[in-house]
């Protein structure tokens, strides 16, 4: 990586004043001059996200009136100049060495087109229903094979050519997952992102319903005229077949997992037909790194 060809890091941020500074400081520390091209799209913000991000030298900030992650990504990409292209969530703090490792995995004539890190789900201090749900969730094969649920995805220039712009969907990472086959992706296990699980069970329940609605909407448009490729099917029995059967000691956690999943499904069905939320994130964890 050189100053002539920077790596672009694109961050869509909606009301992320509490975490964006820490994310950017962690990313920029140790980066060589011109190594990174960081673009933050502060969209629909009611707080000081843009001002906090703008205080970081070398970071380009664009303010977008509409609160929409995919719209913000599209606006930010008009300003991004480098490849590979890193899509980073505003609350995922990774050092520049993580960017370098993912980019290295995309180098070479026969390299994959997309790379993701491993993930760690932080559950310390969470109530037992959140810990129980996570004990099943983190072992699902889909989250080991897929590109989603990590908050960080690196796409090569050839991979980025697979699509024109992000469609107007909520499940942007599931959309990216739909574009690449098994031989075109790689998980770089020496890099790990830390994903904060909700601090309250009610927040987890709301997140699950929101994700289910977003995924269902994306699948409904799959293969249609909206520019959405074929999306992987939801495997509703993987929790039992792939997780609990080989680990029967997780049966108590499975009860929590099934109960919260069923509640989320009911809530998602209840909201069917309503306008999908343009943005949604877990507010309970946005105070963890405030200041």
- The pLDDT tens digits of the residues spanning 230-252 come to 677 778 899 999 999 999 999 99
Which residue from 35, 32, 38, 49 is spatially nearest to 8, judged by alpha carbons? 38
- Residue 276: its pLDDT value, please? 52
Q: How far is CA 220 from CA 210, 226, 232, in A?
A: 15, 10, 12
Q: How far is CA 112 from CA 51, 65, 183, in A?
A: 37, 36, 7
For 126-147, the pLDDT digits (tens) are 999 999 999 999 999 999 999 9
pTM comes to 0.89
- Residue 277: its pLDDT value, please? 53
The low-confidence residues of the chain, meaning pLDDT below 50, are 1-3, 223-228, 290-291
Three-class secondary structure assignment of 108-160? CCCCCCEEEEEEEEECCCCCHHHHHHHHHHCCCCHHHHCCCCCCEEEECHHHH
- Residue 129: its pLDDT value, please? 97
Taking a C-beta distance cutoff of 8 angstroms, is the pair 253, 132 a contact? yes
Q: Quote the DSSP letter at residue 75.
A: H
- Copy the structure tokens of residue 136: 């099943």
Number of C-alpha atoms within 13 angstroms, CB side, residue 122?
13
CA atoms of 142 and 8, how far apart (whole Å): 27
């Amino acid at each position: 990586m050189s100053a002539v060809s920077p790596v672009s890091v694109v961050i869509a941020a909606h009301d992320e004043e509490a975490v964006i500074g820490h994310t950017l400081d962690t990313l920029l520390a140790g980066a060589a001059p011109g190594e990174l091209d960081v673009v933050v799209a502060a969209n629909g913000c009611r707080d000081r996200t843009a001002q906090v991000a703008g205080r970081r030298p070398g970071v380009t900030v664009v303010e977008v009136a509409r609160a929409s992650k995919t719209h913000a990504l599209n606006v930010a990409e008009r300003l991004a100049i480098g490849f590979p292209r890193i899509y980073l969530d505003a609350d995922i703090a990774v050092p520049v060495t993580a960017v370098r490792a993912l980019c290295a995995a995309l180098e070479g004539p026969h390299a994959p087109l997309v790379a993701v890190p491993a993930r760690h789900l932080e559950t310390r201090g969470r109530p037992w229903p959140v810990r129980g749900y996570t004990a099943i969730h983190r072992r699902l094969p889909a989250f080991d094979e897929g590109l989603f649920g990590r908050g960080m995805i690196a796409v090569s220039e050839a991979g980025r050519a697979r699509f024109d712009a992000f469609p107007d969907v909520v499940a942007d990472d599931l959309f990216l997952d739909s574009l690449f086959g098994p031989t075109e992706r790689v998980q770089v296990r020496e890099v790990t992102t830390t994903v904060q699980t909700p601090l309250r069970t009610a927040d987890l329940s709301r997140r699950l319903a929101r994700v289910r609605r977003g995924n269902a909407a994306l699948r409904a448009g799959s293969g249609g005229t909206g520019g959405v490729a074929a999306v992987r099917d939801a495997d509703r029995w993987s929790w039992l077949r792939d997780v609990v059967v080989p680990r029967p000691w997780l049966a108590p956690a499975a009860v929590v997992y099934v109960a919260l999943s069923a509640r989320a499904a009911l809530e998602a069905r209840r909201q069917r037909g309503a306008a999908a939320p343009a943005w949604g994130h877990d507010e309970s964890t946005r105070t963890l790194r405030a200041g």
